[in-house]
Amino acid sequence: ISISIFPPSNACIGRYILNMQITSCGHTYQRCLGDFYVLFNPWCADDPVYMDNQAHREEYVLNEHGILYEGVHKHITSRPWHFGQFEDGILDICLKILDMGASYHHGSDRDHCWRNDPVHVSMVVNHMICSHTTNSIMKIPENNDYLKGTKPFSWNGSVPILQQWYNGRCRPVRYAYCGSLASVMCTVMRCLGIPSRVVTNFCFPCSIENPLGINEMFDGTGKILCGKDKLWRYHCWNESWMARRDLNQCCGDWQCLDPTPLETGRGLACSGPTWVRSIREGELDLDYDGHHMFSRVNSNYVGWLSQNNASKTKFFCDAWPCGQHLITKSVGSEQFEDITGSYKYELGSVKNKEAYYRAYRRIYPGYCNASNCHIERELSSLKNPFLSDSGISMRLKMANCPMYGEDVQLHWLLENLRNENKSLKFNLCAQIITYSGCPMDQFWKESMNVTLGPREVKKIPLCISYSQYGPYLCDHNIMKVVAVSDPDCGEVLMVSRDIVINRPPVIVKLLSQPRLKVPCTAEISFCNPLQEDMKNCVMTLEGCGLFKEPMTIDLGTLASNQQARTIVEFTPYRLGSHRLLANLGCHKF
């Protein structure tokens, strides 16, 4: 007997049991034929997750390989990620996630009807990633302390994380950061049939008191001081494709879902789903958490000089606006796609201002009847004055692209815009910054007197040696260099630059062509570029369809300039596009 099943487009997703009942000669027999799964179907035009572009379906549903974008907006780095949504057992784990999170919106799961709605399913998954009180999939380290778990940046893919959560009685896996949270969510959503992708936003504000303003405090040496507000260098979240019946949408569109718990005024919470177009239009009453998502791509940066904790002064500086660069992996390509225009109109355009005014009136009820001119005056009074208003132009330009072990070379460019001499004293410093904007050690300080003649342009070379920054960098491969003028000289001028220190590459070379169920070998090589030993070196290998679980190789201690070369053997166990990932960890990173 050949049996075909055609579930309706509004069927609840999940695992079903198929029973057969036969009546013959007055007797009835029942037999279980097995079970089957019903998922969302982006190929079906009647399904709320329908996506009509085949190339997009292949990228956002079928592709198991992704890329995470990190770094800073002027130096974007990338690293591969294995989503692994088709690995054995992952579908059952994803359905277990829905079981564990079923009471999030509905009190109990006696009624499964919500499981045919991708909006409610996405909310449950979003909550379960890191916000569930006891059974969330991952946990974020407190105070950057992850001695009791796995380093957040050492994960290569979602499969080991989901397997560890499932096999560990659904206890949170330690530890995560925003990139791994968004990637695990992307795996779950793709596994359930919902097209999804990971998005990175550079210059991401996290403010508790002022939704549309982010304040950063500096002392007289240029050191960033700890405060309530944090300017994340980047932040990752998830986008999923669905038609929102609750918003009367007849066609699918991207919805923003942020599984990282952030301060929202009602405590730490994840956000979404929020219609991306409503963020661009400033229609904040339309959707879940709209005002939070709008502020995360539209906040204004304000830099302050704190003087003896008694007073504060605004800098003259050219600040990079928050949320001006949002990117994701391109369809069918290893390059990134700039999707900033999906979240906001061009900065300074009429439509951009109209959306901002519309959102401002909803976020600040006291301005609900204010004119556009009134709001614009209020905004102008909060912003930093431009450097050009002081008659000086400054910027820090990279002279090299430093890797671990190399010195950082910069050019400090100054220009006098006036027809008179300028004499200023500057304090310069460098400080380690986490990706989430937490200031760490200040490891370099210097003072310098600068004299500029009328209309003079000067280029001053700066060098920060590895011996100065190396002991402090650790996992945080971002430093901030600041030059701030002495307040005793009059106007306070500031210029800064975030610098990413690249990690040394791990070279992967296949020695034979991978074939199904045929042993294959690969050579993994790495060279220690430091002028010191690298201790506790561990290589982790992972690959969908290549390794059923990650392979760990203990390399011990690598001397300076020592080349480590390892041959590994594996047997591809399923068809598909395979990619071997290698990640090196040591006492330095």
Catalytic residues: 178, 235, 258
C-beta separation of 471 from 440 below 8 A: no
CA angle centred on 210, ends 368 and 395, rounded to 5°: 115
Q: Which helix (H) or strand (E) holds 356?
A: helix 350-363
Only one residue has tokens 């502020």, namely 295
Question: How do strand 173-174 and strand 138-139 relate by DSSP bridges?
Answer: parallel
Using the Cα atoms of residue 396, residue 399, residue 400 and residue 405 in order, give the sign of their dihedral. negative
165, 166, 170, 176: CA torsion to nearest 10: 10
d(CA 189, CA 240): 8
Burial of 282 (0-12, 13-18, 19+ CB in 10 A): buried
Q: Which two tokens stand for residue 115?
A: 């499981």
Of 447, 442, 448, 440, whose CA–CA distance to 430 is shortest?
442
Neighbours of 117 (CB within 10 A): 19
**What residues contact residue 326 under an 8 Å CB cut-off, 6+ apart?**
199, 200, 201, 202, 297, 338, 339, 340, 342, 343
C-beta separation of 501 from 479 below 8 A: yes
DSSP letter (8 states) at residue 97: H
